[in-house]
Amino acid sequence: MLGMIPVIMAFLALVVIVVLFMLIMGRKKGGGSGGKRSRGKDAVIKDATKRLAQNPRDPAALSDLGDVYFQEEKWAEAMKNYDILMELPPGTPGLNEFEASFRYALSAMKLNLTDAAYKGFTTARSLKQDNFEVNYNLGLLEFQKKNYEKAIQLLSSAKSLDPDSAPALRYLGHAYFRVKKPKEAMTFIRKAIELAPDDKESLYTLAECYYEANQTEQALKIFDHLRADPVMGPEACLLSGTIRTGNHQYEGAIQDFEIGLKHQNIKPDTLVDLRYRLATAYLKQNDIGKALVLLNLIQNDTPDYKDVSSLIGKYRELNANKNLQIYTMAPQADFVALCRKIVMIYFPRAKVKITNISIQKSEWADILAEVDTPKWSDVIMFRFIRTPGGIGELVVRDFHSHLKEVKAGKGICITIGNFTEEAKRYTEARLIDLIEKDRLSAILNTVDAKAAMAVSPKKK
């Protein structure tokens, strides 16, 4: 037993030595791994640089150097090496033509050099047509260049290679929408949204697809959902309001446009369109004051925008003259009430009895009245025309025929616009007075005061 003690001691000493050796080597390995990698990279660069000094077109050296820079995301340096590789003749020993063109294109995309990227991906696709990344990126570049038909072909190939790629489905759907094929676009965009629910731009485009396909209810649901979005909100409000305006839902349209204008950082084109459409919606509701505020803002920023100048000229006058508003824009009952008031005060110091009123849709109102003045008595026919613009001979001829039917002694034809020369010549030898806008405006300015005087008791 005592003879075994030296053996045991020797064994334990050996174990300790082995453990210490392993610990030391482990520390060296762990602490020096970065240095090893660094020395490996540096060695590759040093070796490749040395070989390129002897042969600037050495494919292996260029590939090694390009790989180091590509892995480190030094895109400009990587692109430079792959550019030289792409210039080498096909079949050069050690040359991977597809990898060189593909990595050249990817590096160019990282540097936003789209023309160079297009060149690289085109070359790569000529070498290998069944690569998803090549088809997708080349399709994306065609989409950005607005070559939508080419984009559809390439993105369709990418989709067939990876049916669940949200980006490929997204741009494929958007490309179909750009070529006015909303039903095809819906199929791909819906699937893209399922895979990437936060893609608000695609959700907006899906609503546009519904709108183009005349499925306005579905479109409105999406636009209403997007109204509060800080990015897509203004455009969503613009289109939802436009849809509701087309459906004569002016209160809803006004709400849409007002929400849109509350957003920050609205694109200039969207801002002016929101203001214009809100102004026209206000006009439909006869809210001229609010409309003029918006129209003046548009004119200050974009003086030649659509018909803003003419609208301001027209509605500024209407805003200053309540009766002119009623004559032009008010409901039929208010319009007829104003016309009755004009008939009653048209002839000074006359007794007037209205015997008949007839309406021609929203175009005019005919009022027949018995008029008795200190000097004469007669039956007078008034025609009040609401439609703006030039009134031609046909309307005046119709009025003259009506005068003869009711045996009126004279006719008074009044318009918010003007009469054509033919209409004026027709009335030269007939008992018809033509009252145009300027004279009508003067009547409307005083009609309320004269009517009040006519009904007030006379002072003794």
3-state secondary structure (DSSP) of residue 192: helix
What is the structure's pLDDT at 199? Answer: 94
Burial class (CB in 10 A: 0-12, 13-18, 19+), 63: buried
pLDDT confidence of 286, banded at 50, 70, 90? confident
Pick the CATH number of 331-455 from 3.50.50.60, 3.10.20.90, 3.90.700.10, 3.40.1350.10: 3.40.1350.10
What is the structure's pLDDT at 230? Answer: 94
Given a cut of 50, whether residue 2 has pLDDT beyond it is no
What is the structure's pLDDT at 15? Answer: 54
Mean pLDDT of the chain: 89
pLDDT confidence of 105, banded at 50, 70, 90? very high
Whether the predicted model's global pTM rises above the 0.85 cut: no
Task: Please give the torsion angle defined by the CA atoms of residues 113, 115, 121 and 125, in that order, rounded to the nearest 10 degrees.
Answer: 180
* Other CB atoms within 10 Å distance of the CB of residue 338: 21
What is the structure's pLDDT at 27? Answer: 42
Q: Answer yes or no: CATH 1.20.140.10 is held by domain 48-323.
A: no
| Mean of pLDDT values over 296-324 | 90
Domain boundaries, the chain: 48-323, 331-455
Record the tokens describing residue 425, joined without a space: 């010549």
CB environment 198-219: b (16+ within 10 A), e (fewer): ebbebbbbbbbbbbbeeebeeb
Q: Backbone phi, then psi, for 213, in 5-degree steps?
A: -90, 10
d(CA 239, CA 243) in angstroms, rounded, equals 6
Residues in Cβ contact with 451 at an 8 Å cutoff, skipping those fewer than 6 apart = 341, 344, 345
Given a cut of 60, whether residue 24 has pLDDT beyond it is no
